[in-house]
Amino acid sequence: MMKRTGLTLTAAALMVFVMAVGVFAQTPAFHDIRPGYGVTGIGWLSDYHPPLKGTPGDTRVYFLDSGVPGGTAYVQGGTHGNEIAGQMAAIILVERAIPTAGRLIVVPYGNNANIDYNDGYRDDVPSSFTIEVEGGLQREFRYGSRRTNPAYESQPDPEVYVTPDGGVHEGEEIRNLNRVHPGKPDGTLTEQIAYAIRRLLIEENVDVAFDLHEAGVTSRLANTLVAHPKGMDAAVFAILDLSAQGIHINLEPSREEFRGLSHREWGDHTQALSFLTETANPGQSPDIVNPDVINDPVNPLHDRVGRQLAMVRAVLDATALLGVPPVTYDGVPTYADLVRDGLSPWLNAPTALP
């Protein structure tokens, strides 16, 4: 099993970097992420597909290895840059989780190429937001878009987009990371991001994979766990566990026709049990004017992040119960913790580690 623990740059990778710059002449965005003591290595998505190096599609990969035998779990936020509960849940894992068995691999910004772009879906949401942490200091996080910035793609959107497995979508969905799985090594930037993620799942022998999302508050997907058929038994156990905690989450099966979506294609094309989480973001509801995506009275960000983290933990507990090598960790707030305390105590201050 390949286990990456940090950054390396070989002569061959450098050559690929130079070639790639000619196609995607930008560099990846960096974010305010302050790794905690559980992080044992930091890599790049381009470690799994070198043509991404030096492009807006490259993004940080965080490794949290307990050193104790167990499984490997992958957690990805930021597939859609405007679904911020997933990003913040992933960031809290990077900053707070202390693994006790197995490994966590966390990518807070799965599509880093949509984070600096407003796709016009709505103009009444911020391009960034701040959260006050210890000492009254402010940390700033970006609020991006659903799709890759078209300026980063080498070709215009087609009239119709057909996925490698035959799924048919509107042409602009070629820039939607959650419509282009399992990706192509020689495709568009977005397709290459998807391909690199698939290579990561395979090369790191990931047992359980999560893609963290948000939906509109009245969407049938709001507060839902989507499970590939391989993981449906674990999902049922997880839903029961969450219900016992007072967290109502719906269960949705990943069907054969969901071509191009992570929960279907990761499960079909890798060994991982694949899951997708959805929480209720008012910014995803077009009928809500001037939504408060941070402090909404019904669906505040801290509540949504708590649900995301609770779903991840419940699924990992369930998969371990069913015989998958365990992935366990301490230090991460429960749903009740976040409802009571908000996000601030669980984000590292600029001057200190936990």
190-216 confidence digits (pLDDT tens): 999 999 999 999 999 999 999 999 999
Q: How many other C-beta atoms lie within 10 A of the C-beta of residue 68?
A: 12
Report how far residue 335's alpha carbon sits from residue 347's, in angstroms, rounded to the nearest whole number.
15
Average pLDDT over residues 330-341: 98
Segment 131-153 shows an average pLDDT of: 94
Q: Answer whether residue 350 shows pLDDT above 90.
A: no
Averaged pLDDT for residues 259-286: 97
Give the CA distances from residue 97 to residues 89, 90, 104, 347, in Å, rounded to whole numbers and listed in that order: 11, 10, 9, 11
How sure is the predictor about 166, in pLDDT bands with cuts at 50, 70 and 90?
confident
Give the structural domain span for 60. 23-346
Report the pLDDT value the prediction gives residue 147, as an integer from 0 to 100: 96
In a domain, 255, yes or no: yes
Show Cβ contacts of residue 21 under 8 Å, excluding neighbours closer than 6 positions: 54, 55
Q: Which residue has the tokens 């790794």?
A: 35
114 against 353, higher pLDDT: 114
Which of 78-87, 157-166, 232-241 is least confident?
Answer: 157-166
How confident is residue 6, by pLDDT bands cut at 50, 70 and 90?
Answer: very low
In a domain, 286, yes or no: yes
- 340 in any annotated domain: yes
pLDDT grade for 353, boundaries at 50, 70 and 90: low
Judge whether 17 lies within some domain: no
Q: Measuring CA to CA, which residue among 28, 222, 200 is closest to residue 114?
A: 28
| Dihedral sign for Cα atoms in the order 7, 10, 16, 22 | positive
322 or 353, greater pLDDT: 322
Query: CATH number for the domain including 162?
Result: 3.40.630
Confirm whether 10 is domain-assigned. Answer: no
Compute the half-sphere exposure of residue 208: CA atoms within 13 Å on the CB side of its CA: 30
Residues facing 168 on adjacent strands:
162
Task: Give the residue-averaged pLDDT of 5-14.
Answer: 38
CA gap 205, 280 in Å, rounded = 31
The long-range contacts involving 237-244, CB below 8 angstroms and separated by at least 24 positions, are 237/314, 237/317, 237/318, 237/321, 237/322, 238/311, 238/314, 238/315, 238/317, 238/318, 239/314, 241/314, 241/317, 241/318, 242/310, 242/311, 242/314
Q: What is the mean pLDDT of the chain?
A: 92
Number of domains in the chain: 1
The CA distance from 46 to 196, in Å, is 7
Mean pLDDT for 318-326 is: 99
- pLDDT greater than 50 at residue 302: yes
Over residues 251-262, the mean pLDDT reads 94
Residue percentage of the chain with pLDDT more than 70:
92
User: Looking at the domain assignment, is residue 354 inside a domain?
Assistant: no
Q: Which residues contact 125 (CB under 8 A, 6 or more apart)?
A: 82, 143, 283, 291, 293
- Chain centre to alpha carbon of residue 223: 16
Judge whether 155 lies within some domain: yes
pLDDT band at 22 (very low <50, low <70, confident <90, very high): very low
Give CA–CA dist 290/92, Å, rounded: 27
| Structural domain includes residue 44 | yes
* Position 301 pLDDT exceeds 60: yes
Burial of 352 (0-12, 13-18, 19+ CB in 10 A): exposed
Of 126, 318, 302, 152, whose CA–CA distance to 233 is shortest?
318
